[in-house]
Structure 1
Amino acid sequence: MGFPAPFVGSKPIGAPKGRDDILPAHYFTNGRFVVSAWQLTPEEVAVINHNGGKVFVAVGTGENFYPTLVGSSETVRMMLLDTGRTIPSQPVEVNA
């Protein structure tokens, strides 16, 4: 499972009261979209590479499916430009 990751322009948010199954996270919103970032483990990245690059997303909404975009920081940043405020360009991070 990916873990919530802070990013430039994000704000922290705690889990809802009584939900110890939800991790605190970081988010950005422009009033139309909410953006979060997730850090995958090396093992998860290996599985994604093994299955042809497919990333699966589960959104806890019940029966409705809300518009969801999964992409790089730049892909999301450019999409947000069409809907209002956007996140800053993100710095290059190198995992050692």
Structure 2
Amino acid sequence: MKIIRSKTFTAERAWGALDIASMNGITTRLHWTDQPYKWHVNDGEEVFVVLDGQVQMRYREEGEEKHVLLEVGDIFYASVGTEHVAHPQGAARILVIESAGSV
């Protein structure tokens, strides 16, 4: 059993993570960041939950770049093949659920 206080989690570098669970090939990680990630496509599906802060999620649909501002409690689901990049607006804590070993 674990109890994790996400509001107090920080990392030594942007996108540093605390591994919470690995179940049947799916990982759950808590990330802390204050810097954008990189444009990428995951190997599988991804669920991205903002726990603290704000994140501008940029994504491409049919070659067109779009964006949405995610607030605390908002969830972004990236289906297979969704190209996306997260841009935190200051420091943010994010719960990411994805296939083990995904980008």
Query: The TM-score by the shorter chain falls in which range?
Result: under 0.3
Higher relative contact order (CA 8 A, sep 6+): 2
Bigger fraction of residues in helix: 1
Please identify which structure carries the higher strand content: 2
**Computing the radius of gyration over CA atoms, which structure comes out larger, 1 or 2?**
1
TM-score under structure 1 length normalisation: 0.25
Q: TM-score, normalised by structure 2?
A: 0.24
